[in-house]
Chain A
Amino acid sequence: MKHVLSAVVVNQPGVLAHVSGMMASRAFNIESLAVGETENPEFSRITFVVSGDEKVLDQIRKQLEKIVTIVRVIDFSGKEFVERDLMLMKVAASGSNRSEVKELVDIFRGSLVDVSPGHVMIEISGPEKKLEAFIDLMRPFDILELVRTGRIALLRSNEENVDVDERAACEDPTAAC
């Protein structure tokens, strides 16, 4: 069973190494991981896709929350959220099939971001299934190279939103905030 977890972490060197090291040493299975700054540069958001049953997921969440530089972990299971992967792909496309590729890219709401005499580069984002479908469609055109990011995701509702500015303002662990 795959689950999406989102962690707000203090944006400092070593946090990602700590997180991935902990996951590896406890034999948790990370399917994908994406990290980037939040609306407040003091914090980053790490989005994990992990696999395991409820018990494993519970342990992953708790072990993550124990890491001092992790501010908050939210388990997206059973919640409404939007998730996206981003992919860049180089496809062999000379004159004859270029328009066909372009058409498919348009249908998938991707875009051509670079054109060379022998190939094009496509940028496409979306849920994993859409990307998988697109890859399958492109295979006959000879995919030269492909790169994908880890999953990023946000909850649709704002109720469990981690207000990072509020967190940033409350740095004293002994304070009642």
Chain B
Amino acid sequence: MSTAQQSSTSTKTITGADILIGALVRNGGDTIFAYPGGASMPLHQALTRRKDQIRTILPRHEQGGGFAAQGYSRTTDNVGLCMATSGPGATNLVTTIADAKMDSVPLIAITGQVPQAVIGTDAFQETPIVEICRAVTKHYYMITAEDHTDPASVREALESIPRIVREAYFVAKSGRPGPVLIDFPKNIQLASMPEDEIDYDPAMKLPGYRPLQRKVAPEQIRQAIAAIRRSRKPILYVGGGVINADAAEELTAFALKTGIPVTTTVMGIGAFPGDHEQSLHMLGMHGTVYANKAIDEADLLLALGVRFDDRVTGKLDEFALHGKIIHVDIDASEIHKNKEAHIPVVADVKDFLVALNTALSQDDCPQIDEWRTQCSDWKEKFPLKHTQSDEFIYPQEAIQELWRQTKDLDTYVAVGVGQHQMWAAQYYKFSKPKRWLSSSGLGTMGFGLPAAMGVAAAHPDALVIDIDGDGSVMMNIQELATLFCEKLNVKVFLLNNQHLGMVMQWEDRFMEGNRAHTYLGHIDDKMATGDGDGTFGETFPNFVKMAESMGVGSQQVSKKDELPAAIEKMIKYDGPYLLEMICPYQEHVLPMIPGGGTVRDIITE
């Protein structure tokens, strides 16, 4: 297996595993979330030899490691790294990879693979992970020798590793970002070559991949400005592309100069300050009434880094019915995919906004005083509403209180998926990009805790909060152990209503309240069939004990007047912490436009 036998004994040799880890370090890798196994042990051995340069964090499940890597990616300019062994380790990463693809998150996933000699024989822990992941990665590699019995061929494979890693970084981050998979058979990990003969700065070999060549044409800027100048009811519809392009500053400058109201998608939250009067907050299925009304009446849509997702548009034919659409996206396939654009611009949205801001004169700013007044009126007339109580902790109020106490602390907030996610999107007002982490496209429950873990690894001194639900948090609850063992300071803000709230809400609205496996307590409880009296005594499971057992500080509260002090205690606690709030389960996320509906179908009560 070794190709170094023939070289002189004085030359130091290096293994394939060491070459790969060395290449990660040279490309900026400083943290990796990796769970070892038979086919990735040489890589872990190599990681110990570079522990001064790259921190290895051991998650308690590969999926947790993958989401942690996403948490790292989503809040830095670097690329998140995760690693797993072959077979089940690799398949446990699939959800993370698919999630990163949907939300355009740069990610490099490395999987160990059985030795080439047994590939294709259904060997122990063998899965064809490249085959499995093809549709959910942006790109993929398998580091193999053309003939694994030929030392020259193995040597070639070893020499290709630095190029592959460099390309993986470039592909993951450039253009529309996304996940890249590197599958690494064990025989190449173990093979070696003279250390001084390895070229760590090889040329990339990606013919036809030209993500940097998209340039904004002056003609497109002229067209856009003409449309803006003529508009009387323009609106900025902003998505994750603006955050990925690092263009929040340019967007804000443009919005402030023109006075055009801004609404964001779930992925776009933070691109424009949520507490600014021009912000109409989130649009779409659980967006604000005023954002959805404004989109409906707008005569010009500046759609920046968005993809007209069905959770945003509802009924496509009636979405932005009166509006001309300027659609800017770096991914050409998003233009005209769901909605025909009048002015399509395939470009980096930052380049577009820089060019637009430069070219836009004061005279080009549209006359929109009436429109702005209209939007403010809607905002006043249709604010976000929820049930008020002096006694119970309503999730919306809990999040508002959390926001009040943390808004000046440059806080990072990750969420799971479900009602709590939408309430966090509605009630926590973000003033900066890359502070909000949500599995938005794939909607993966269990995202919040591990994602927050990755943020804490990237920003050890920051306040990192996982707003979670009792259903979602259970999907990766094992990562509480990682928080303690790896000294990752995450605060879990757990809204416990004992139900899978979002599904329950649909049952209540569209299925006559028939409870179909949405109660999270014992099946013998009356609540399981929806026949309870609306209250619950002791909740299940005991999250406080669970946190304690994993070295995480914790408290449970159920009275509204206990909440402010409990939040303060959580923030001040030295180390990972879980604050569990018992919430009424009857609350629905509103407003709500039923799937495939329009703003005229909006439910507010």
Contact = CB atoms under 8 A, between A and B. Distances in A.
Interface of A: 8, 10, 14, 17-18, 21-22, 25, 43, 55, 58-59, 62-63, 65-66, 68-72, 167-168, 170-174
Contacts of B333: 59, 62-63, 65-66
Given A14-B130, A72-B208, 11 more contacts: A14-B134, A18-B134, A43-B207, A59-B333, A68-B208, A167-B208, A170-B207, A171-B207, A173-B209, A173-B211, A173-B212
Interface string B191-207: 00000000000011111
B381 interface: no
Nearest 9 interchain pairs by C-beta: A71-B208, A62-B333, A171-B205, A68-B139, A167-B207, A173-B206, A173-B209, A62-B332, A171-B207
A70 B209 CA distance: 8
A19 B437 CA distance: 32
A172 B208 CA distance: 9
A68 B134 contact: no
Contacts of B335: 62
B409 interface: no
Interface in B98-144: 130-131, 134-135, 138-140, 142
Interface in B149-181: 170-171, 174
Contacts of B139: 68-69
B337 interface: yes
A65 B208 CA distance: 9
A21 B134 contact: yes
27 contacts: A14-B130, A14-B131, A17-B131, A21-B134, A25-B135, A59-B337, A62-B332, A62-B333, A63-B333, A65-B332, A66-B333, A68-B138, A68-B139, A68-B171, A68-B206, A69-B208, A170-B207, A171-B204, A171-B205, A171-B207, A172-B203, A172-B204, A173-B170, A173-B204, A173-B206, A173-B211, A174-B204
A43 to B, nearest CB: 8
Residue of A25, A65, A71, A174 with most chain B CB atoms under a 10 A cut-off: A174
Interface string B459-485: 000000000000000000000000000
Which of A8, A62, A72, A168 has the largest count of B CB atoms less than 10 A from its CB? Answer: A62
B131 A58 contact: no
Contacts of B208: 8, 10, 68-72, 167
Contacts of A63: 333
Nearest to A18: B134
Contacts of B170: 173-174
A92 B140 CA distance: 49
Among A65, A70, A173, A174, max chain B CB count under 10 A is at A173
A156 B209 CA distance: 26
Contacts of B131: 14, 17
B600 interface: no
B64 to A, nearest CB: 27
B336 interface: yes
Interface in B198-236: 203-212
Nearest to B139: A68
B249 interface: no
Nearest to B340: A55
Nearest to A170: B207
B246 interface: no
Contacts of A68: 138-139, 171, 206, 208-209
A70 B337 CA distance: 20
B401 interface: no
Contacts of A170: 207
A135 B142 CA distance: 44
B351 interface: no
Contacts of A66: 331-333
Contacts of B174: 173
A71 B207 CA distance: 6
B61 to A, nearest CB: 27
